[in-house]
Chains A and B, each alone.
Chain A
């Protein structure tokens, strides 16, 4: 099972699910990380955290532990 935290820069993937057990899951859904959406890892900060994703026509930075609960198809 691959998560968004394992994407390489420039790689695209489609979201399969978002893990409900994570405290930030609701906010991730509300900001647009929903199943079926295509995301692309645009850049990673130093130490590979946080990560910036392209999503629904905008850029959103999230921490790696938050990216870990975004499960890819």
Chain B
């Protein structure tokens, strides 16, 4: 097959097995100005950028997800391999740089040789030579160049040593390629037989035997240097006995032991979980205050008219509702990044794989599910680490059932209604029951959906768990911070515009047509007038029309249109429920908003029956509703982006909201049937 290489700018694609130092090399070549792009129709992420101008090479560079061989094992890898041959946006690469961990050469050369045989112009970059040297060996890269028939460069990822050699070779190769417009690619790796694979391994083993030489055969000065840095040096050792890092084995004897493994696992997860809440809380307060301030300043400057309200309430508050979760997202990704970089995350996935596989999930689902307790959006994004498509979609499917932080203000208000002021411990117990209930019910729902997966998830492939457990190391803070920043940026720019547009739409529905209602202002303070106008405007708005339209749906739940409107508003973001109740029930006291909402709720009457609207049965019903309902536009948007179609998000919306409605109906009516109000 002959494919024209990209004509506009040169393209260099980085390919390599996981943990081979590929991203470090990408960072060395790209500096800081990369962007991530999505492969159409899927979620495989690529980073792309220009090579740093200081190197004097005119070329784009593409960082692809880690692959073990050119024979893909999962749909995500399939996309990665196909795009290597012909990326829909960038074409096929002029040059392929593949990273090989020098201490893992017997495994990693497999991919390099497949690339060379397929006809790519390949440069092999040897990384992590220091690890091999610590074992007393080094690689004869000149001999390797001869044996595999492509350029080999040794690079030290930490110091950048060897980078100038790589640049020289890239330049020479690109100049050479100027004369030929196309490269010839063979796409025949897909179905090689077991025998061919094994003979490939035998060849690699014979190459390995020749190129790995004891450090002692290099110069005396170098040897002294190595001796100084590394205490263990055994030049007479035979390379054949290649053991994993001893310190890693020692740590794993504890962290992966049958006795302590799960205990440490839950301890580490509990610390992660609680710090998302406790560290983020003050920062969320700052963001919230900042946007309240901006919103009220804008309203003051622009005066009282519709566009002032649009900017203050629609745009600024809408932006605020996006950014208020940013601290949680930053902290979550920071902790997960640290855990991943030290090497623990792979082990956590291993420890929890068995229980989760029972309900159709994978060990790799645990971290996304845990993240779901902070916010479903980063949680759905982090489900990308799951290579099996069915397990990833099922994970994404149940993430919205994790009790995210946006539900907290709602639960806080509803629980406060149920419990007396002097019994705060009771509130704590109810909250714990809600959390446990949401975990248990999500696991049950996952198991049920797994049973019907053919109709719901509509994707099936071999469930497997094969995961390399990397050597423990100190986290490289620079990389962790950089990834944290990237993830946060993605959250803002992907979900942000959608949330913003929909917030404006909801603002419109709650603001028009009666945008400046006439009210009797006699004997009222300025603040009270503002609040009266807002409440009047809402009760005669399109949203209220909609609320009255859904009144028949709310009636079986023992609720009326006013709760219906608040629930509708809560579909943009759950915490909106509280402020919406405040607006509808004409709460005027700004100082202590929660206790005044409670007072208003206690005195509210059902407009049809004249009985109290909020009773223990309706409150418990509302809690049940919030446990299940899919009420978050941002989640729907991200779910659509990540699964590549509207199917999964729409099914989530329909299934979870139906479950919420049915369970709320049952709860309310069973409580009433039992003789309570």
Seen from chain A, the residues whose Cβ lies within 8 Å of a Cβ on chain B are 18, 20, 23-32, 34-35, 42-47, 49-50, 52, 54, 56-63, 66
Q: Give min CB distance, B596 to chain A, whole Å.
A: 51
Is B85 an interface residue when CB atoms closer than 8 A count as contact?
Answer: no
Determine which of A35, A45, A54 lies in contact with B198 in the assembled complex, contact meaning CB atoms within 8 Å. Answer: A35
Q: A43-B256, A50-B363 are in contact. Are A58 and B468 (CB under 8 A)?
A: yes
Residues of B within 8 Å of A23, CB to CB, are 462, 464
* Pair A27/B104 contact, Cβ less than 8 Å: no
* Pair A42/B194 contact, Cβ less than 8 Å: no
Residues of B within 8 Å of A44, CB to CB, are 258
Residues of B within 8 Å of A34, CB to CB, are 198, 201
Residues of A within 8 Å of B73, CB to CB, are 26-27, 30
Q: A42-B252, A46-B261 are in contact. Are A61 and B465 (CB under 8 A)?
A: yes
Determine which of A20, A45, A47, A59 lies in contact with B194 in the assembled complex, contact meaning CB atoms within 8 Å. Answer: A20
Residue of A nearest to B114 (CB): A30
Interchain CA distance A18-B468 in the complex, whole Å: 19
Q: Give min CB distance, B16 to chain A, whole Å.
A: 14
* Pair A26/B71 contact, Cβ less than 8 Å: yes
Residues of A within 8 Å of B346, CB to CB, are 61
9 A-B pairs in the complex with CB atoms less than 8 angstroms apart: A24-B462, A24-B464, A30-B73, A35-B198, A42-B244, A43-B258, A45-B256, A57-B103, A58-B470
Determine which of B68, B243, B469, B470 lies in contact with A30 in the assembled complex, contact meaning CB atoms within 8 Å. Answer: B68
* Pair A60/B466 contact, Cβ less than 8 Å: yes
Residue of B nearest to A35 (CB): B198
* Pair A43/B106 contact, Cβ less than 8 Å: no
* Pair B468/A60 contact, Cβ less than 8 Å: yes
Quick one: which of B229-246 are within 8 Å of A by CB?
242-244
* Pair B466/A27 contact, Cβ less than 8 Å: yes
Residue of A nearest to B353 (CB): A50
* Pair B110/A30 contact, Cβ less than 8 Å: yes
Residues of A within 8 Å of B242, CB to CB, are 56-57
Interchain CA distance A18-B253 in the complex, whole Å: 28
Interchain CA distance A63-B391 in the complex, whole Å: 15
Determine which of A43, A47, A56 lies in contact with B107 in the assembled complex, contact meaning CB atoms within 8 Å. Answer: A56
Residue of A nearest to B256 (CB): A43
Seen from chain B, the residues whose Cβ lies within 8 Å of a Cβ on chain A are 68-69, 71, 73, 103-104, 106-107, 110, 194, 197-198, 201, 242-244, 248-249, 252-253, 256-258, 261-262, 346-347, 350-351, 353-355, 357, 363, 462, 464-471
Q: A29-B198, A59-B468 are in contact. List 20 more A-B contacts (CB 8 A).
A: A24-B462, A28-B466, A30-B69, A31-B466, A32-B106, A32-B107, A42-B256, A43-B261, A45-B256, A45-B258, A45-B354, A46-B351, A50-B363, A52-B350, A52-B469, A56-B104, A56-B107, A57-B103, A58-B470, A60-B469
Residue of A nearest to B464 (CB): A24
* Pair B466/A59 contact, Cβ less than 8 Å: no
Q: Give min CB distance, A9 to chain B, whole Å.
A: 9
Interchain CA distance A32-B107 in the complex, whole Å: 6
* Pair B464/A63 contact, Cβ less than 8 Å: yes
Determine which of A30, A43, A61, A62 lies in contact with B257 in the assembled complex, contact meaning CB atoms within 8 Å. Answer: A43
Residues of B within 8 Å of A66, CB to CB, are 464-466
Interchain CA distance A41-B506 in the complex, whole Å: 58
Residues of A within 8 Å of B357, CB to CB, are 63
Interchain CA distance A28-B253 in the complex, whole Å: 24
Q: Give min CB distance, A24 to chain B, whole Å.
A: 5
Q: Give min CB distance, B241 to chain A, whole Å.
A: 8
* Pair A61/B469 contact, Cβ less than 8 Å: yes
Residue of A nearest to B465 (CB): A63
Residues of A within 8 Å of B197, CB to CB, are 26, 29-30
Interchain CA distance A18-B354 in the complex, whole Å: 23
Residues of A within 8 Å of B353, CB to CB, are 45, 49-50, 63
Residues of B within 8 Å of A63, CB to CB, are 353, 357, 464-466
* Pair B253/A54 contact, Cβ less than 8 Å: no
Residues of B within 8 Å of A35, CB to CB, are 198
Residues of B within 8 Å of A25, CB to CB, are 194
Residues of A within 8 Å of B104, CB to CB, are 56-58
Residues of B within 8 Å of A49, CB to CB, are 353-354
Interchain CA distance A18-B242 in the complex, whole Å: 21
Q: Give min CB distance, A13 to chain B, whole Å.
A: 15
